[in-house]
Structure 1
Amino acid sequence: MTEFTDKNVLVIGGSRGIGAAIVRRLARSGAEVAFSYAGSADAAAALASETGATAIRSDAADRAAVVDLVKGRGALDILVVNAGTLVMGDPLETDADAVDRMIDINVRAPYHAAVEAARQMRDGGRIIVIGSVNGDRMPFAGGAAYAMTKSALQGMARGLARDFGARGITVNIVQPGPTDTDMNPSDGPMSGFMHEFMAIKRHATGEEIAAMVAYLAGPEAGIVTGALHTIDGGFGA
């Protein structure tokens, strides 16, 4: 596969899980990929060795670091923002600093990364942010703050799609449901509970999410923008 040959790609949050699957998919298709990581140095080094991608340590909670990361990659063709964190629990007891950090990573980082990318991005570029089906539906208690961050991405994409549309730059959100990662393993203690909400009662794979990202990043999706692309086995149906 060579549809991304010579494309300059940055994946923010790419060392593990969905992010790593995206790095593999785009690198395998010929892209020049760089990805950021925060704490998973060994996983990042292994992925870089496997794919030929460039690993860059950067904290998605630090706005200046996010801007510098994007600026340092020059004129991007494709930006994928996958970095995210999850804080769950009774809102009356949840640590406020942890919630604020989640907002920094899940909302502020994608916004500032997208804006900085657009400053240098070539016309016809692609901005793709990994959200969550919980932006549409939060069917259990304890997820209000997390759902809020994922819903915020929806408004961001719709607005930036209009801001950047004259240059042919598309902005889209991919909204996975339960996906087999270290944070949410398919054989984990919550899997049976989550599958009860689903029409197809299994976790998605990282490769399935990466395939949707590849479509949105590719030449056939040039008219797709400001949209939410849910891939959740019917979790939110």
Structure 2
Amino acid sequence: MLNAVSLIVILLAVFSPAGNASPLSGAAFSSLSKEQQNSLFINSLEQLHACPGDTVRLGIKAMNFHSIPPMAGIPVDIQATWQVWPVSGTAVDQQRALLVVSREVNDGTRFTIRAKISEKGVVKKNTLYIHTRERNPFAGNWREEGGNIGELYIHPDRRFSLTVHPFEVYRDYWGHVTYDLKKKTIAFTIEGGNKQPDDCDLKGTFRFLKDGSLSIRGIYFGTIVREDSFRRSYLFRKAGR
């Protein structure tokens, strides 16, 4: 019986940065409109992320322009050859469209992923951001316990968005977060939004409780709904990755 290390060695042995084109399952390329064919993308319109040692399944998708607003996520059945740059730190199985991240890749490393197709279409390149849970324990989707914040989403690359009533792609405001894991300090900087309070105070302290919840003190995320009051402590629980 193979152990985990042996399995990884075997996988890496058969993977290579280049090789034969890989078939993907989904809608036929010929069934797409010209607009869809010229706006293909890899996996997501958002930047991809993974941890060292992870395996990422690659795929080409198209926009659904019939929905309001247009939504992403129609898998496309098309031959593709995958390219990843820089080549060191990853291995690609072209046949199965799998990308394996080396366990030695550092937190904060970015890889550019491209897909070459034989049909006359345009595939937008994407970026894979590598993070470690040790360096960014905040990454994920948080929901306020007993409060009004329905979603505090902290991305692996330290971007964040905050929303009281999450709905599809809507967000109240967004920006980036900085922190010091030793000093237990954290600060949020707003860079844009649909609803930006003018009474925010976004520098404070944090601590993780034994049950995995996140306590933030000294910060006020602003008055977004009337029921909010100027308080300087929040308790968040993980709602997903």
Of Structure 1 and Structure 2, the greater strand share is in 2
Taking structure 2 as the reference length, what is the TM-score of the superposition?
Answer: 0.23
Higher normalized contact order (CA 8 Å, seq sep 6+, divided by chain length):
1
Rg larger for: 2
Of Structure 1 and Structure 2, the greater helix share is in 1
